[in-house]
Structure 1
Amino acid sequence: MAGMCCGVNMGETETAAPVDPSSKSARKRRMEIHQFNFVPSDSTVAPPLGMKRQKIEVVVEEKPKGNELARVPDGGEKKTSAPSVVLSPEFPKFGMTSVCGRRRDMEDCVAIHPSFFLRDVDLPSGFHFFGVYDGHGCSHVSTKCKERMHEIVRDEAESGGMVAWERTMSRSFLKMDKEVKDWCGAGAAGASTSTCRCELRTPQCEAVGSTAVVAVLTPDKIVVSNCGDSRAVLCRNGVAIPLSTDHKPDRPDELSRIQESGGRVIFWDGPRVFGVLAMSRAIGDSYLKPYVISEPEVTVTERTAEDECLILASDGLWDVVSNETACGVARMCLQSRKPPSPGNDVTVTAAGESSDKACSDASILLTKLALARRSQDNVSVVVVDLRKGQISN
């Protein structure tokens, strides 16, 4: 039988030939899985051999500010983004895991900003921002999105009266795309904080881009904006509800748009724009415009008492795990949560991440499931608890 983890089939097929544990292939598999560096949002995980556990400092303030998750760099090294982490019981509970997997380079980035936008004094928790960016060609566009997207969204939302989310998110993505184009056009002058292998030299940077799936949580809405093939899925009363649709070149409406603009979709290891890019929308990729656009598709979903969790992930998960399976795994982890101890409901890791352990367990298990099913891509997963009482009104 294929491997099982908490009732979830970890393999792609139901049966498999018995394997001699002493065989060369078995030893290779054991060594291969040891190469994966998981960085979960759980401080109970022991640090690697030869490394000391970092001291965690937690600061609680009356007016909390959003704190961004530290980037998980290639190679598994952990860096603290700030000397302290600000926590609040009004923050949404979440868990995040991001791993390089079987790829040579880590090109995914994750951004989480609780209370990134304070709209009303009667809503002290504000609105909350979650973003997953899956870079291609190199990591500098996804890194730039991680650093700037939430700030652009906040500025757009603050510029008007009542927030029109479709317009706000659309303008934000287009501005992000313009910033990336201008930044890449600056060449080496814009690479002061970049450590990517292409070093922002033209024409290499023209062939670099990133997907972006962004969720903004308000007390009564879930606003999801998607550009590319990362995905957001809502689990509501045990049912998986996709809040975004992948932008694949062979999607009928996307195929028609590309062809009408003079482009072509060529099947080369799957459908690709001009045989190169396996998605029809992305931020960056200047050399493929106007065929590859940065216009997002935006959905605004009313929150209900039946909402359980929201999952944002790169295609490293969705290529091998269905929406239904992902929601089932996350739901199982959330339902198994033990009653929290006083003052110990939120855990903080040395990577600067703040999270609930049940959400963290869900993100870790989903990542392990993707790797066990032989995902060939970077895998980044964010799980947000949406159950009643998680975000105060």
Structure 2
Amino acid sequence: FLYNRDAPPILAASLIHAAIDEVLQTDLSAFKKQSVEEEEEGDQVQELISFLLSVLDGGSLQRCFFNKLRDICCEWQKLLPSLKSLKRFLLISSHAIRNIRRKMEDRHVLLPEFNQLFGLSDDIDRAYFAVFDGHGGVDAANYAATHLHVNVALHKEFLKNPTEALKDAFQQTDEMFLFKAKRERLRSGTTGVSALIVGNRLHIAWVGDSQVMLVQQGKAVTLMEPHKPEREDERMRIEALGGCVTYVDCWRVNGTLAVSRAIGDIYQKPYISGSADGNSFELTGSEDYLLLACDGFFDAIRPDEVVDLVLGHLMQNKGDGFKAAERLVASAKENGSNDNITVVLVFLRDPQDILADCLGDPKNLSADEGAEDSSFNFFSSEVNIQSDSHPMTKS
């Protein structure tokens, strides 16, 4: 609503936080629609039971929110509060296509204004990005894209241990969606990968085969291992629970799903786990960009190819990285991907500087040569970096 009225993102996020804060200070019992009986007590997380005992009328609550938003806009027109922007350089390029699939079941979230959205006023930069790849319907992906970052921000350990907050938020979001899925008879599920930048730390968490990778000084850096049934530890976990991993055109859990962890998939629990893995890495300032994408991309494009494609795009566009994600999505489709494709590319350095560093290396081709053929191999090395297992004081 605010973006469509050309509100700058930092202003939009700040307005949203202020309006929600006002709503939460009102008596929400006025919006209660009906009571929900407590069924199978003990099977749900205690916090969920207390929250879901009442269902609020969405229409009335929405009107209340927009009234609060209007009042705050009128106040801020008279005196605009100080809005603190990110000190870190971030340029975001994102693109998503349905491809030849009947439905678009991917969702992605871009929140460089994480601090403003949740009213965090310290001097630590925070930005959040996520990609969700739904299957069996879009309900789980929609739900995760709406709730996961909120569960992160409201986690009791969020400031002290953001990696744990990210991991726990996946589990909490899974439990919340399973409650909804049981009540509404929803069968869908979604993989997910999220990245939270906090100061000079990168925190990641994931379930399933959506992935995040880093490019540092022109080299692809592996940050994670996707959850696939053929992984030995995943196969052993599934079989220990009484499930099986079989090959039906690819390795599948109980002959159905080709991922071993996901949010949702109520009829495949506990074999399909909602428990996320996570990691934390130090950012030194030498990182070029972060890339998050679904398996529709990574099944068609190798990490080292990402480096070549992005650099080729920058050379052809004189360092303009705004549409680099479109180039990556198009390349995945050209390479035979038939799946939904979503790519989120977060430049951590100015693309102009990345291009200048490349062209300053005599081993690389000139800009004119690169423009003629963007398929040449700039870098062929892919490296793994070890994570710092010590949690960082976080925001």
How would you bin the TM-score normalised by the shorter chain? 0.5 to 0.7
User: Counterpart of 1:145 in structure 2: which amino acid?
Assistant: A
- After TM superposition, the structure 1 = structure 2 runs for residues 189-338 of structure 1, keeping only pairs within 5 Å, are 202=185, 205=186, 207-334=187-314
Matched residue, 1:151: 150
CA contact (8 A) 1:128 1:217 kept: yes
* Structure number, greater radius of gyration: 2
What displacement does 1:222 show?
0.9
Q: Deviations over 1:274-323 (max 9, x none)?
A: 11000000000111111110111101010012100000000110011001
User: Match for 1:379: what amino acid?
Assistant: I
Residue 170 of structure 2 aligns to which amino acid in structure 1?
A: F
Determine whether 1:185 maps to 2:147: no
Distance 1:211 1:173 in 2: 10
For each residue in 1:228-264, what CA deviation from the matched residue of structure 2 results, as whole angstroms up to 9, or x when unmatched? 0000010011111122211110011111111111110
One-letter code aligned to 1:149: L
Give secondary structure in 1 for the equivalent of 2:199.
coil
Following TM superposition, by how much is the alpha carbon of 1:165 offset from its aligned partner in structure 2, in angstroms? 2.5
Structure 1 gaps of 5+ residues are: 1-53, 68-81, 188-201, 340-356
Match of 1:106 in 2: 104
Partner Cα distance (1:66, 1:150) in 2: 18
AA of the residue aligned to 1:312: L
Change (3 A) 1:62 1:366: closer
Which structure features the higher share of helix residues?
2
In structure 2, list runs of 5 or more residues that go unmatched: 17-68, 74-82, 354-395
- Tell whether the 8 Å contact from 1:65 to 1:114 is kept in structure 2 after alignment: no
Q: Give SS of 1:109's match.
A: strand
User: Could you tell me which residue of structure 2 aligns to residue 122 of structure 1?
Assistant: 123
Task: Give, in whole Å, the separation in 2 of the partners of 1:223 and 1:66.
Answer: 27
1:30-69 → structure 2 map (5 Å cutoff): 57-59=6-8, 65=14
CA RMSD of aligned residues (A): 3.2
State the 4+ residue runs in structure 1 displaced beyond 4 angstroms: 60-64, 86-91, 334-339
Q: 1:287 to 1:304 in 2, by over 3 A?
A: same
Residue pair 1:330, 1:383 contacting (<8 A) in 2 also: no
Shift of 1:160: 3.8
8 Å CA contact 1:116–1:150 kept in 2: the answer is no
Q: Aligned partner of 1:109: which letter?
A: R
Match of 1:170 in 2: 167
Provide Cα deviations, 1:209-244, integer angstroms capped at 9, x if missing partner: 000100001220111111000000100111111222
Per the alignment, do residues 162 and 218 of structure 1 end up closer, same or farther by CA in structure 2, a change over 3 Å counting?
closer
Q: CA deviation at 1:89?
A: 6.5
Which structure has more relative contact order (CA 8 Å, sep 6+)? It is: 1
Per the TM alignment, residue 362 of structure 1 is displaced from its structure 2 partner at its CA by 1.3
Does the CA-based 8 Å contact 1:58-1:87 persist in structure 2? no
Cα distance in 1, alignment partners of residues 238 and 158 from structure 2? 36
Q: TM-score, normalised by structure 1?
A: 0.66
